[in-house]
Amino acid sequence: MTWIGDNLGLIWEQLREHLYLAIVPVILGLIISVPLGYVATRYSWLANPLIAFGGILYSLPSIALFIVIPAVLGTKVLSTVNIIVALTIYTVSLLIRNVIDGLRSVPPDVRQSAIAVGYGALHRVVAVDLPIAVPVIFTGLRVVTVANISMVSVGAVIGIGGLGELFTLGFQKDFLTPVVVGVVLSLTLALIADLILVSLQRILTPWARVATPVGEVA
């Protein structure tokens, strides 16, 4: 326990780094997936290959990505950019499917009336299609956020891993406390992030929770 007290500064630092390394890729991934998914619904032949490609990317071992990326991008091995790029790739590969499914979940008659009332193409996506896709997109967002939070730790192997660095520390010194602290904080972080996303979704989609009418009364 004294270890915790003595290392509060370090723990806090790693926690902040962990959060940063996990969340930035989620945001970047979302920014990339939405237009990509939109393009895939416009040119529907693109959708299935994209989803399949995403599946392949997602199955790549993270450790391999962390090591290959510096070689490809020419970044320093110890740069946070590597982790962020790798996790952004994971985020996009997973989220693309939800964005496409979400945009496809817009009922055809709703899309038809959106066109007929006079929404321009871009305006329609922002004002009609995306809001309706929010529940499906958020399902993916929750999965990917939790996955990212756990995957950041793997980065510790190449020296940047947020709370994962506490694991390395513990293993090196054959000392359990930092490992436990790392696990507990990492789980807590995932739990809180998920709670925040659930609340955000509820705020964004009040219409998705309403009761259906009882019987037909004109």
Partner 1 sequence: MIEFEDVTKRYPDGTVAVDKLSLRIPSNQITVFVGPSGCGKTTSLRMINRTIERTSGTISIDGDDINGRDAVTLRRGIGYVIQNAGLFPHKTVVDNVATVPKLIGWDKRKAHSTAMELLERVGLDVKLAERYPAQLSGGQQQRVGVARALAADPAIMLMDEPFSAVDPIVRHQLQEELLRLQRDIGKTIVFVTHDIDEAIKLGDNVAVLRVGGKLAQFAPPAELLANPADDFVRGFVGQDRGYRALTFVHPEALPVQPLPDELALQDGVPLGWRNGSEELLPVGSVFKRGDSLRAALDAVLTSPTGCGVCVDDDGKAVGVIDQSTVAEALRS
Q: How far apart are CA 182 and CA 204, in angstroms?
A: 33
- CA torsion, points 100, 142, 55, 185, in degrees to nearest 10? 160
Phi-psi category of 162—alpha, beta or left, where left has phi over 0 and alpha has psi -120 to 50?
Answer: left
**Nearest alpha carbon to residue 62 among 35, 25, 19:** 25
Assigned token pair, 199:
């609340």
Q: Which range binds partner 1 by CB under 8 A, 6-14, 87-95, 143-151, 203-211?
A: 203-211
Compute the least distance from the CB of residue 107 to partner 1, in Å: 8
DSSP 8-state assignment for residue 78: T
Which of the residues 131 through 150 are near partner 1 (CB under 8 A)?
131-132
Site membership for partner 1, residue 79 (CB under 8 A): no
Site membership for partner 1, residue 89 (CB under 8 A): no
Q: How far apart are CA 166 and CA 175, in angstroms?
A: 10
Site membership for partner 1, residue 195 (CB under 8 A): no
Q: What's the distance, Cα to Cα, between the start and end of the chain in Å?
A: 68
Site membership for partner 1, residue 122 (CB under 8 A): no
Q: Dihedral sign, CA of 144, 76, 161, 61?
A: positive
Site membership for partner 1, residue 113 (CB under 8 A): yes
Site membership for partner 1, residue 114 (CB under 8 A): yes
Q: Which of 115, 191, 192, 196 binds partner 1 (CB under 8 A)?
A: 115
Q: How far apart are CA 98 and CA 54, in angstroms?
A: 11
Q: Which amino acid is at 3?
A: W
Q: Which of 8, 56, 122, 217 binds partner 1 (CB under 8 A)?
A: 217
Q: Which of 24, 80, 119, 142 binds partner 1 (CB under 8 A)?
A: 119
Which of the residues 15 through 44 are near partner 1 (CB under 8 A)?
none
Q: Which range binds partner 1 by CB under 8 A, 39-47, 87-95, 105-113, 184-192?
A: 105-113
Q: How far apart are CA 26 and CA 31, in angstroms?
A: 9
Compute the least distance from the CB of residue 209 to partner 1, in Å: 9
Compute the least distance from the CB of residue 42 to partner 1, in Å: 16
Summarize as ranges the residues that interact with partner 1 (CB under 8 A).
107, 109-110, 112-120, 128, 131-132, 205-208, 210-213, 215-218
